[in-house]
Structure 1
Amino acid sequence: MKFKNITSLIIILFGIKSGVAQQTPAPAQTEAITIVGATAHLGNGEVMENSLIILEDGKISRIQPVTSTKMQYPGKIIQAKGKHVYPGIIAPNSTLGLVEIDAVKPTDDEDEIGEILPNIRSLIAYNAESKIVESMRPNGVLLGQIVPRGGLISGTSSVVQFDAWNWEDAVVKEDDALHINWPNSYRRGRWWAGEERGLKANDDYTSDIQKLSDFFASSKAYLSGSDYTNLAYDAMRPVFEGKKKVFVHVDGEKEILDAIQFKKEQNINHFVIVGGYHALGAARQLKENNIPVLVNRPHSLPNQDDEDYDYPYKLAKLLDDAGVMVSLESSGQMERMNTRNLPFYAGTVAALGMDKEHALELITLNAAKILGIDENYGSLEAGKSATLFISEGDALDMRTNILSHAFIDGRELSLETHQTELWKRYSNKYKNQDNSDKKE
């Protein structure tokens, strides 16, 4: 029995050791870096050919066209003629770092027990050494909003950068937004409860909205002067002060309109729709109330039989054409792994008619504006953070999105991940196998 216990312990320790991520965060920038000759995609819809970009002390100190081949460049020089420079791609509404292995419950921190949990903070559960997080960087996804799931109010998100030792090092904007999962006015029949299959009216829809209204009212009453401590109510103070945004996860047109009415009743300043599958029907109201939409991944099938086959692909463009600010998010099945496909989602939107530089803006500057970090991130501008990457070709095309360099706050990142190590290992295996076959 003792031998079995020791053997089990060794196996467990070996599993833990082998599961540790291989990334090592880059040290702070100590010398200037000059990128010469690349085509710079600024992230604001503009392109600069033959650019000169100088990174100093973690910031972009200069960005301009190359005016002379005899110019003196400071620090380390990266000759990037024929390559492309982009601002770091930003992933809103992500659970990266909250779940490592779906089937292993101790690695799943995306949800907490309870229905109304505004005081739950995703940041302190964020695993900066996640192997999934490090796999974002080779595609240029360098920042993200880490969001809790579940309940009526699931908690508070934070924005992080994807090259850090721990969550304290990773944080870019702490406790940026409260997340509400708006109830559905319809639900599917629960066959196991003896209900008929198919859609039916949700009898609890009105009462669920009333729960939200009551909680907001109770929070305001508590914050107006109370002698006892309530963590949930305390977490609402930044919302009422306009310092914390409210992200509402909702898809139906009726539900979106009801959520807009809720915003007005509660006098919420910063309001964002997440998902918004049927947001097109409420586009006028969204524009009038200056409410942006995080559109779910375009690589999806239509939800209804009578919808255009390419409706999910073109929804972002249709909303943008209607004057709504749009960004892209990737929640849903295998969402953490699929987050690395954000640049290709934007490429799909461009293939459906949107100007390619504007499609890039959806996952750079628009995302930064919606998350409230556009002062430092989202575009290539002097004075902003040196968070960017160099690609061999078009970053929105999976065939040419091949990174040679990536930087976060001027720190040059390793682009090696568990996936790239496996690719090299097995590509060499088959290369050697081909050579052996030729010799035979």
Structure 2
Amino acid sequence: MVIMKRIIYILCAVVGFTAAAQQTPAPAANKSYTIMNATAHIGNGELIENSVIVIENGKITTVADATTVKMQPKGEVINATGMHVYPGIIACNTTLGLVEIDAVKASDDDREIGTYNPHIRSLIAYNAESRVVETMRPNGVLIAQVVPRGGRISGQSSVMQMDAWNWEDAAVRVDDGVHINWPRTFSRSGSWYEPGPTIPSKNYDKQVDELTQFIAAARAYTGTGKKDLKYASLKPVLAGNATAYIHVNGEKAIRDVLGFIKDQDLKKVVLVGAQGAENVTKELVAMNIQVLAGRVHDLPARDDADYDMPYKFPKLLSDAGVLVALENSGDMERHQARNFPFYAGHTVGFGMDPEKALQLVTLNAATVLGIDKDYGSLEQGKSATLFISKGDALDMRGNQLTRAFIDGRDISLNTRQKDLNDRYMEKYSKQ
């Protein structure tokens, strides 16, 4: 009885913890807006110093230089003189909305038991009322790819927008691809607090063979007779209608993956993490393989790697002609996802052009996720998913949002943190 009471208490605390913070999603886009005089960062490498942007019916209908184009403003006029307008930041390879509190199992739903789970869909586990999701918007992170974890094949990801009543409302692209975790060629001995030397993995070849056999069985599956959801779920990937996201690190493993891609005739492949890919760029370009580069704010993956490799890694790939966007898997990945604009900004300090750095988390990310027709840049006809910042959004000092829109809806930028800040600022200002 005591245990049951404790469980009920924890569940009630989780529900209350979430409900108290979540802002009401914005209503349908039924207003027009004209954003005047801001510096527009288009997201495709272009910049308009003094811009005019018109939003109608959730779409961008005008993006122009205000000094050369004379037009009558439509709807609400937003004077953004001295400010900056950006396309919404896109966070790739996250578990946003799948876990609320790591220590509370009832709120943790980012993986399933088993090794091969291509049929598992992150979409239906997504919690649109997550308090963590809410904290993304004030930094301009308005879209995220929500990805399951665990196993050799984790399951299917979906692309979600960050202001919704439920997962149906949040979905931007459903089941965009299947996530495969390539076996590790090397493993670290010891423990996390006292790591030992890196040693070759004894089971690497066996694990690769098992994965190859599973893919072959899925390819041979015809769908007749007894239904097999696992094999059926891989059919879109094998047919080239969905992306195979292969999570892999290390030069040897990446070269093995390239051979695997050729052998399996996979049409749409994205490498995730891809540490060591700086040595395989010619092959990646030749095979038209895109990369979600691992966390920028990280330590080098190898003892002999340059100390600044994580910082300059995206630029090395980009300069070689690889289409690269950023991802953020690892420790505290859900909460750290709000730092995506600053990851892009960090690459600027290591040689990346600022507008190209912005592409890492906007148009490039949209291209990788297959949503670039509607998102990722400020272009006529695209979704009005954008935000206005007082300063440089890739710099935490300048990233101060005044307005944000998702599909033309004027969304709330309030959070529980902001409420607490205002509450205690008021308290201490009276002392």
Alignment TM class, shorter chain as reference:
over 0.9
CA distance 1:22–1:213, shift in 2 (3 Å) = same
- Tell me which residue corresponds to 2:23: 23
| 1:119-268 equivalent positions in 2, closer than 5 A | 119-189=119-189, 197-223=196-222, 226-268=224-266
Provide the TM-score with structure 1 as the length reference: 0.93
Deviations 1:375-416 (A, max 9, x none): 000000000000000000100010010000000000000000
Per the TM alignment, residue 70 of structure 1 is displaced from its structure 2 partner at its CA by 7.1
- Tell me which residue corresponds to 1:327: 325
Q: Percent identity?
A: 54
Whole-Å separation in 2 of the counterparts to 1:246 and 1:109: 22
| 1:4-19 equivalent positions in 2, closer than 5 A | 13=12, 16-19=15-18
| 1:243-322 equivalent positions in 2, closer than 5 A | 243-322=241-320
Deviations 1:345-387 (A, max 9, x none): 1110011111100100111000000000000000000000000
Whole-Å separation in 1 of the counterparts to 2:79 and 2:306: 46
Per the TM alignment, residue 11 of structure 1 is displaced from its structure 2 partner at its CA by 7.8
Correspondence for 2:355 among 357, 362, 366: 357
Tell whether the 8 Å contact from 2:22 to 2:130 is kept in structure 1 after alignment. Answer: no
Unmatched tracts of structure 1, length 5 or more: none
Tell whether the 8 Å contact from 2:11 to 2:106 is kept in structure 1 after alignment. Answer: no
SS of 1:150's partner is: coil
Letter in 1 for 2:56: E
Whole-Å separation in 2 of the counterparts to 1:15 and 1:383: 41
Q: Alignment RMSD, CA only?
A: 2.1
Whole-Å separation in 2 of the counterparts to 1:7 and 1:179: 37
Letter in 2 for 1:411: R
- Tell me which residue corresponds to 1:427: 425
CA distance 1:11–1:252, shift in 2 (3 Å) = closer
SS of 1:235's partner is: helix
Per the TM alignment, residue 68 of structure 1 is displaced from its structure 2 partner at its CA by 7.1
SS of 2:221's partner is: helix
Deviations 1:17-52 (A, max 9, x none): 243242111001112111111110000000012111
Per the TM alignment, residue 306 of structure 1 is displaced from its structure 2 partner at its CA by 2.7
Deviations 1:207-239 (A, max 9, x none): 11111111111111112x531100101101111
CA distance 1:283–1:30, shift in 2 (3 Å) = same
SS of 2:336's partner is: helix
Higher-Rg structure is 1
Larger displacement relative to structure 2 (299-308 or 409-418): 299-308
Provide the TM-score with structure 2 as the length reference: 0.95
SS of 1:38's partner is: strand
Whole-Å separation in 2 of the counterparts to 1:27 and 1:403: 20
Whole-Å separation in 2 of the counterparts to 1:282 and 1:17: 49
Correspondence for 1:403 among 401, 415, 431: 401
- Tell me which residue corresponds to 1:378: 376
Whole-Å separation in 1 of the counterparts to 2:11 and 2:182: 41
CA distance 1:205–1:402, shift in 2 (3 Å) = same
Per the TM alignment, residue 429 of structure 1 is displaced from its structure 2 partner at its CA by 3.0
SS of 1:50's partner is: strand
Q: Following superposition, which runs of at least 4 residues in structure 1 exceed 3 angstroms of deviation?
A: 4-15, 67-71
